[in-house]
Amino acid sequence: MKEFQKDLIDWYVKNHRPLEFRLKKDPYEIWISEIMAQQTRIEAMLPYFKRWIKELPDIHSVANCDDEKLNKLWQGLGYYSRCKNIKKCALECVEKYNGKLPQTKEKLLKLSGIGPYTAGAIASIAYGQRVSAVDGNVIRVFSRIYDIHEDVTKTSVKKKIEKLVDDSLPSKEEISYYNQALMELGALVCIPKNPRCESCPIKKYCDALDPASLPLKAKKKARKIEYKHLYIWVYKNKIHVVKRADTGLLAGLYGFDELKPEKSIESIELEPYVHIFSHIEWHMNATLCIVDMEDKNYKEIEEIEEHIALPSAFMPFFNQVKEIVYGKSRN
């Protein structure tokens, strides 16, 4: 096992991406980056991360930030419930830990929005705790190393792999590099469809006869399809936006009306759009309704762009409306 650890860490030292939040080993930055990177490639996440850290450099600043600004900083990453949990977690850290993240995986797991992987990443990378950090990359690496032909989405199989990872852990002095090395190997070499086995530093330890076929996963259920028609009310260069219900998809965020205004001067049909969530597809049509009266829910286009977190599900319609409104104002 020591040779395995050494080969992997040596490869990591020479080949890792210079990710600032990991090199600094700042627990706050590791936490934010790992939450942002869930279901988002690190390269795509980095601009959002840098913007967030510039505006909110520590846990106290998150705890004191209003929800609208937090949502705006999160805009584009989706899964806004994660942003809500970051705020909850920050408040818990201020209340219980003087604005710091606790050092053990066990305590981290008790905080809002922090699961086993994120807790393990913070505890091992930032604090040098000898604990595992098992994400999808690590599951893929170990399912191939041990040639595991079982459904990795099953809890029992996940636990089996976690045990194998736990048994492979090096000393506290090497744990930070080791866990990061496993993550990097899965991200750069032991990739999902076409693993780069010829470049793998631990291929001599791998039992997989057909690495590309692993890990095994149960076939996903077909996504449910929901049909929606939006009505985007426009008064001059202002757009009517409404806050969505506190439950359900995109809860508490801003969106457009699903009812026609009582009176329209002009109606324009917009290009339809399909937005895919993890379990649901929204097949949407939209009508731009130009009206001659406004209320407090109408916002300037610039205000929406600068201050309101409009979910990506609605952005194609917002961009179409913006072009039409600005085109009319120039004519």
Active site residues: 34
Closest CA to 7 of 204, 254, 222: 204
Total residues belonging to the chain: 331
For residue 41 the two structure tokens come to: 């490639």
For residue 114 the two structure tokens come to: 């922090």
Instruction: Find how far residue 319's CA is from the centre of its chain.
Output: 23
Instruction: Find how far residue 11's CA is from the centre of its chain.
Output: 27
What does the alpha-carbon distance between residue 254 and residue 58 come to, in Å, rounded to a whole number?
27
